[in-house]
Amino acid sequence: MLINRYLRKFAYLCSGLCLVPMNVLAQGNPADIEATNELLPLSWEELTELEVSSLARQEQTVKDSPAAAFVITSEDIRRSGATSLPEVLRMVPGMNVAKVNSWNWAVSARGFNDLYANKLQVMIDGRSIYDPLISGVYWGQQNPSLPDIERIEVLRGPSSSLWGANAVNGTINIITRSARDTQGGLINAGGGTEERGFGGIRYGQKLSESTFLRGTISTMVRDASIDLAGKQDTHDTGDTQTANFRLDSQLSSQDKLMVEANVSRYRLGGYVIGKTSTTAPLWQNDDFGKEGVAGSLQGNWSHRTDSGHDWRLNMAFTQTEWQMAINRMSRSHYNLDLQHALPAIDNHKLMWGLNYQTINDSFENTLTLGFEPDQFTQHNFGLFLQDQIELTDDLKLTLGNRVEHFTYTGWETEPNARLLWTPNNQHSVWAAVSRAVVLPNRAQHSIRLFKQIPDTNRFFEAKANPDMLTENLVAYELGWRWQIFTNLDFDSALFYNIYDRMQGTKFTGVTYHDPTFGTIQQATVANYRQVDSYGLELAANYRVNHDWRLQASYSANQFLVNYDKNQPWFRDPLTEEHSNPQHNVSLRSLYNLTSEIELDAWARYVDEVYIDRSSIPAYISLDLRLGWHPHKNLELSISGQNLLDNQHPEFSDVLYIPVASQIQRGYLAQISWHF
């Protein structure tokens, strides 16, 4: 079989990266390993001791988290050779990451991958970048300066009781460096065959003994990808510019303040949806793409009292403006989030919080795409409560619930129960059962889409469904962490998810005749289906010696879809079974050839998928990076990506991006100078 052949090839490739005497496993010298923290990314043991904030909305170590957690450090990002956030997320077991074209990505956790995956909550410093129009993230519009990122905290599985609706299959929080830790200057620049040019300038300034400011400007220009025939580009070249400012101040011994502002502009070419016209040609692909500007202002205040009460207030405002050939949008998004962690009461640690958000948008409609009403305001609010109970010295129970009210669906509740058992320093076992919901989006409630049915000469009209309900999930999870040796660690997670009221798109059976367009079919979206999924996630981290680290992961998932086979489905009702790879394998090798030279390799295997009634073959990719530090403040590197073939497809969505692309082999050179 083709898949077996690919797996064998991947095994041979991995063995070439992993030719290490097995007796080294038990011989790792902890002193040597600890002495090289500045040279290699942290060991798994050190990673699990990191204090992160996304796992429980307060500082907590990964080791003490009863959840499938993963942390990507700034050193991981630097040595990956990545130039975008989705590339970095390929490191995480259980994450599905596929590149659609030069700017668009499909990113999800535990399956359900899509151009706009609706079950993944994504934040930057606690500010959500999840788009309420399409229920997902426009990854091409999110281009923070990667050197400014301190770490990326990833939770697989539901965390809606803490982070609210849409935190269903996963939650990502991108934590940027504080202004205090980015003093002085940084210039980075690079270019290559696919990333035609990129660069950034950062400078940090000490304003007082307790207040620090930094600013960053960056830009990126990308080449167009190539079509499925491998002959013509798909017109998806583009560029982005971003400016970011951050202020951190220790107001007093008890108070901290962070203020962050961000402005970005983007022009992303490519074929998007297409254009309907009342004159010939009635339908044509349009490569205008999308252009726009976005800005955000965020403030975060924390206060800790002498008696141990911890208060945190986060306020954020985001303004978004974009235009395509077929529509134009303006949106204002306000968010207020307050939380209060109480000091321990006997064996209880209580925390509560509330949030309020308002979203106001307006559209300029066209024949192809419109929204009814064209102006609308949402008001959503919620309240959560969590209690962490120390049952015994090695057994902790966490109970939580969030109650929310939404303009579209009314009241929702999202309870959660988690148990953590740590019998010793080498083992920890956790289990969880949770409920989470996915909100209907603005498009599902208001859209009017009129376009040609892909691969036909007929037209359809997609009508909104104001009666859309939330998608519901009940999740069962089990995890085990095992520190095998001081330099070898293992992490595993199992899950079984039951989804109800899953959305599906079908023809309504209603047709009408138009003198210009002929017979027109109507389609609509509703909560038609039920889906069960189950899977396995494995990760291992091995410090061979003080100069070499290996990191491996494997994930597998399966789907069971229940739907009415007699319905006239417009989009594939088995999309979950077809569009998600059953197997993903990743192996990274990070090796210091000398104190100045780094050699890094990253091999990945992704299983076959079936999207839009066409097959995307399984593929193996290999990335290599060579880094050189001729001076402690100067870094030069060259990278090669997708080195095993000239090009290959990874994902497609013919409804929104009618011209599919292949991802090409790329070469890249970078320079970074601190001053």
SS (H, E, C) 215-246: EEEEEEEECCCEECCCCCECCCCEEEEEEEEE
| Per-residue pLDDT at 160 exceeds 90 | yes
| Predicted local distance difference test score (pLDDT) of residue 612 | 75
Distance (Å) of CA 42 to CA 58, 123, 177, 237, 588: 22, 23, 17, 36, 14
pLDDT, one tens digit per residue, over 515-554 is: 999 999 999 998 989 999 999 999 999 999 999 999 999 9
pLDDT at position 2 is 43
Per-residue pLDDT, 40: 57
Q: What is the pLDDT of residue 93?
A: 97
* 51, pLDDT greater than 70: no
Locate tokens 């603005």: which residue? Answer: 442
Model pLDDT, residue 36:
37
Grouping H, G, I as helix, E, B as strand and the rest as coil, residue 45 is: helix
The 10s digit of each residue's pLDDT in 398-419 is 999 999 999 999 999 999 999 9
- From the list 325, 324, 323, 326, the residue with the least C-alpha distance to 367 is 326
- Kindly state the percentage of the chain with pLDDT values over 90: 78
What's at 512, amino acid-wise? Y
Count CB-CB contacts under 10 A for residue 319: 14
Whole-structure pTM over 0.95, yes or no?
Answer: no
> How many domains, the chain?
1
Residue holding tokens 């956030």?
A: 85
Could you tell me what percent of the chain has a pLDDT over 70?
92
Question: In the predicted model, what is the mean pLDDT of residues 194-209?
Answer: 96
User: According to the model, what pLDDT value does residue 319 have?
Assistant: 98
Output DSSP code: residue 164. Answer: -
Q: Report the residue count for the chain.
A: 675
Model pLDDT, residue 573 = 75
Does the pLDDT value for residue 38 go beyond 80?
A: no
As given in the structure block, the two tokens for residue 399 are 């109970």
For 209-232, the pLDDT digits (tens) are 999 999 999 999 999 999 999 988
Residue 108's pLDDT is 96
The pLDDT-based confidence of 37 (bands split at 50, 70, 90) is: very low
**What's residue 431's pLDDT?**
98
On average, the pLDDT of the chain sits at: 91
Q: Does position 53 have pLDDT exceeding 90, yes or no?
A: no
C-beta separation of 330 from 442 below 8 A: no
Q: Which two tokens stand for residue 276?
A: 């309907």
* Residue ranges of E strands in 597-664: 597-606, 609-611, 614-616, 619-631, 634-641, 647-648, 661-664
pLDDT at residue 471 above 90? yes
- Residue with the two structure tokens 């038990």: 26
Phi, psi angles (nearest 5°) of residue 51: -90, 120
Q: Residue 323, Cα to own-chain centre: how many angstroms?
A: 24
| CATH code of the domain covering residue 364 | 2.40.170.20
Round the CA-based radius of gyration of the chain to a whole number and report it: 25
Q: Quick one: pLDDT band at residue 41, thresholds 50, 70, 90?
A: low
Q: For the residues 237-258, what does the mean pLDDT come to?
A: 97
Judge contact between 284 and 274, C-beta under 8 A.
yes
Which range marks the domain in which residue 329 is found?
2-674
Interval 163-177: pLDDT, tens: 999 999 999 999 999
Identify which of 11-25, 504-518, 620-634 has the greatest average pLDDT: 620-634
Of the two residues 633 and 504, the one the predictor is more confident about is 633
Q: What is the mean pLDDT of residues 174-187?
A: 97
**Cβ neighbours for 194, distance < 8 A, ≥ 6 positions apart:** 102, 222, 223, 641, 664, 666, 668
How far apart (Å, rounded) are the C-alpha atoms in residues 595 and 36?
Answer: 10
Give the model's confidence band at 18: pLDDT under 50 very low, under 70 low, under 90 confident, else very high.
Answer: very low
Q: Can you tell me the mean pLDDT for 501-520?
A: 89
Is residue 270 exposed (0-12), middle (13-18) or buried (19+ Cβ within 10 Å)? buried
